[in-house]
Structure 1
Amino acid sequence: MNAPLYNTDILRLAASIPHHERLSDPMGSSEKRSPICGSRVTVDLNLTDGRVSEIGMLVRACALGQASSSLFAAHAIGRTPEELIAARDQLTVWLAGEGPLPDWPDLDIFTPALAVTARHPSIRLAFEAGADAAAQATV
């Protein structure tokens, strides 16, 4: 793997997080923090007919956490809570080198980070918070 960890694509995503303001009255909300670097991501969401209809985020993270948050937010609308939970679990398995690339657009951008296990918690933050917020919203 010769690709740099912090490449132009990662930095571009990090600078363009959609849905970057919190929701005023979310059905589900979760904050996750990486103990390694202190990155923090909060995801708020609402469901309509069992699918994500609105999402809001507060992202205070490193470039990898920001880029992952950007990918999560760009593709979460319309997904079911079960799909968000599956994406979180698949991402965790893939980063650990124990499974295939998750079925989520553009996650292959993190391939250079596979060998840098200290960065994995930051990459997982938005997916973990999103899955937890979706589970809360279904209660």
Structure 2
Amino acid sequence: MDDPLYSKPLLRLAALAAGAGRLEPCDAQGSAHNPVCGDKISVTLHLEDGRLVQMAHQTQACVLTQASASILGAHLTGNRQDVEALHRQVGAMLRGGDVPPAPFAEYAALIGAASHRNRHKCVLLPLDAVLDALSNG
């Protein structure tokens, strides 16, 4: 795999699978699906006073979705506005903008997807699932 889309840091993040699994019990759950490629992700969240404090994910997806979910599983906390802001930052990065700041700077490993517009949804899918869970929670 010499394609810069599948960099070693990206593959390491996907293999790490931080946050993989399911939280039982959970305070909220959501999912997202990319019908173009078939990627699916479900997330479970622990909330305290309406703030996300822990997430877990189950993915049936490509390494881009897996790596993005792993970054979120390791670092994502906050309220809906924080998640929406991160979604905008990652989307902007994929359109040529800056990599999100720490603790989400690991998204730099997914920068190879920027030149593959049809793969942007794969990177954003875990964030879509978290937003779905926050809407349902």
Q: TM-score surpassing 0.5?
A: yes
Partner of 1:81: 80
Contact 2:93–2:111 at 8 Å: present in 1 too?
no
Deviations 1:88-108 (A, max 9, x none): 1222233234x4433333112
Q: Unaligned regions of 5+ residues in structure 1, if any?
A: none
Deviations 1:62-94 (A, max 9, x none): 111111111111111x32222112111222233
How do 1:105-116 and structure 2 match up within 5 A? 105-116=105-116
TM-fit CA distance, 1:113: 1.3
Q: Tell me which amino acid in the other structure corresponds to 2:119.
A: R
Question: As a proportion of its length, which structure holds more helix?
Answer: 2
How do 1:2-21 and structure 2 match up within 5 A? 4-21=4-21
Q: Unaligned regions of 5+ residues in structure 2, if any?
A: none
TM-fit CA distance, 1:14: 0.7
- Supply the distance in 1 between the matched residues of 2:136 and 2:99 (Cα, whole angstroms): 27
TM-fit CA distance, 1:122: 0.7
The structure-2 alpha-carbon separation of the partners of 1:24 and 1:65, relative to structure 1 and needing over 3 Å to count, comes to same
Deviating above 6 A after TM superposition, structure 1's stretches of 4 or more consecutive aligned residues are none
Matched residue SS, 2:115? coil
TM-fit CA distance, 1:41: 1.0
- Supply the distance in 2 between the matched residues of 1:115 and 1:47 (Cα, whole angstroms): 36
- Supply the distance in 2 between the matched residues of 1:118 and 1:28 (Cα, whole angstroms): 29
TM-fit CA distance, 1:40: 0.9
The structure-2 alpha-carbon separation of the partners of 1:89 and 1:135, relative to structure 1 and needing over 3 Å to count, comes to farther
Q: Note the aligned Cα RMSD (angstroms).
A: 1.9
How do 1:11-50 and structure 2 match up within 5 A? 11-50=11-50
How do 1:90-101 and structure 2 match up within 5 A? 90-97=89-96, 99-101=97-99
Contact 1:84–1:134 at 8 Å: present in 2 too?
no
Q: Tell me which amino acid in the other structure corresponds to 2:69.
A: S
Partner of 1:132: 132
Q: Tell me which amino acid in the other structure corresponds to 2:133.
A: A
Contact 1:75–1:105 at 8 Å: present in 2 too?
no
Q: Tell me which amino acid in the other structure corresponds to 1:12.
A: R
State the TM-score, normalized to the length of structure 1: 0.84
Q: Tell me which amino acid in the other structure corresponds to 1:40.
A: K
The count of aligned residue pairs is: 134
